[in-house]
Homo-oligomer: A and B are copies of this chain.
Amino acid sequence: MSWNSFGRVFRFTTWGESHGPALGTVVDGCPPGLALDESAIQPFLDARRPGTSQFTTQRQEADAVRILSGTFEGRTTGTPISLLIENTDQRSRDYSEVAQAYRPGHADYTYDAKYGFRDYRGGGRSSARETAARVAAGAVARLVIPEVTITAYVCEIGGDAIDPASFDAAEIGRNPFFCPDASAASRWEALVDGARKDGSSLGAVVECVAEGVPAGWGAPVYGKLDADLAAAMMGINATKGVEIGDGFAAARLRGEQNADPMLPGATNETAPRFTANHAGGIAGGIATGQPVVLRVAFKPTSSILIPQQTINRAGEATTLATRGRHDPCVGIRGTPVVAAMMALVLADHKLLHRAQCG
C-alpha cells in the first residue's frame, strides 16, 4: 500500500531524487535460484541511458547498477534484492529560478501544494530519473518470466506514425527512436531535431507487445491484468493515456467487428487459435494466451525553452523558460520503461496465479 512500492507478491520499492547521491530499488518476492548478476540488468539501463544521441537529454550518467543484496554465488536467494545506481552528473548550477517559480506542466506546484516545500534540484523525486530504478527492477522481473518475450517501440512522434506494413522488429535497436519502421525513423530525425532547435518538444505513442503470456494469468475484478497494466503505465512520468488492444478504436466498432473468434488449435495443441486480437490478449482481466498489446501516450516534455506564463511561490506573475538539459521527446526514453513495467506486472501475475491456482 505504500506510495513508492508497486506489485503484489513480486513487489519493488524505489527511492531517490534526481540530484541526490544515488537512486535505487528493492525488489521483494523474487523466486530463488535465478541466475542474476549486474550484467543481466545493465543492458536494459543502457537502453534507457541519457546522453546517447542528440535526441535525448545531454546529462551524462553511466547508470552503472550495483547489486547490494539478495544474491549469492550468482543466484537469487529469495531475499530482497537491493539495486543501487549512483548519480554522477548532478551539474552544479543555479537553481534559484526553479526554486522560486513553478514550471508549468511540471509537478513543482503540486509538490509544494502537497508537502509545503520541495527538493527543486532537477525536479527531485518527480524527475524521470526515477524510471532508471523501474528499468533495473524490470530486468529482474524478466528473469521470472522466461516464457514471455516483450517488445516495445515508439509508433508515433508528434502525430507522425509508423506504417504497420513496414514493421521490422530488428529495426528497433538500429535507430535512436526505438522505431520499428526505418522510414519513419528517418523522418523523425528531422522532426525531433526541429522541435529541439525551436526550444519546443514533442509527444509520442509507445506500443508494447508481450508474447508467450499463458492463458490464465491475471485475475477478475480488482486484480485484473489490464487494470494493473493501466496503473503501471499511467504512473510513468509524462503519460496521459493507456489503451489495451484496440483501445479507443474499439469504442467505434460494432460487436461483430470487435469479436475475436476462436477456432480449434493445431493438432496436439490444447490452446485455441484466435482469428483476431482486438482484445489485446486479455478478457475479463485474464490473459487469453494471445499477445498482450497496449499503447501508452506520452505528452510533449513540459520543460521547454519557449517562455511560459507562470507564478512564483509568493503567487506573483512571472515567466519561465526552462533551461537545463531535457529530452525533446520524453516518450523515446520512455520506451524501455514501458517494457520494464510490462515485465514487472507480468512477473507479479505469474506468481499470483501460482499462489491461487497452483
6 additional contacts, CB 8 Å, given A15-B81, A224-B235, A230-B234? A5-B28, A109-B283, A110-B215, A110-B218, A114-B217, A272-B315
| A106: min CB distance to chain B, Å | 6
**A311 at the B interface (CB under 8 A):** yes
Q: Give A25 Cβ to nearest chain B Cβ, in Å.
A: 9
* Given A113-B215, A203-B252, A221-B235, residue A261 in contact with residue B75 (CB < 8 A): no
* A203-B258 in contact given A15-B80, A264-B311, A297-B250 (Cβ < 8 Å): yes
Question: A120 — nearest CB in chain B belongs to which residue?
Answer: B72
Asked if B216 contacts A256 (CB within 8 A), the reply is: no
Is A69 located at the chain interface by the 8 A CB criterion? yes
A23 at the B interface (CB under 8 A): yes
| Interface footprint category on A | 35 or more
Residue of B nearest to A121 (CB): B72
Contact indicator per residue, chain A 285-328, by CB within 8 Å of chain B (1) or not (0): 11111000000011111111010111100011100000000000
Binds B, one of A44-52, A163-171, A181-189, A236-244: A236-244
**A 212-252 contacts with B by CB, 8 A:** 215-224, 226-235, 237, 240-248, 250-252
**Would you call B113 and A216 a contact (CB within 8 A)?**
yes
Name the distance in Å between A72's Cβ and chain B's nearest Cβ.
Answer: 4
Partner of A234, one of B6, B224, B237, B302: B224
CB within 8 A of A5: which of B3, B13, B109, B205? B13
Chain B: minimal CB distance from A189 (Å)? 17
Q: Which residue of B is nearest A75, CB measured?
A: B117
- Binary B-proximity of A1-41 (CB < 8 A = 1, otherwise 0): 11111111101011111001111101011111100000000
Tell me which of B17, B68, B113, B252 contacts A286 (CB under 8 A). B113
Is A211 interfacial (CB-CB < 8 Å)? no
- A56 lies within 8 A of chain B by Cβ: no
Q: Which of A125, A195, A229, A246 has the most CB of B within 10 A?
A: A125
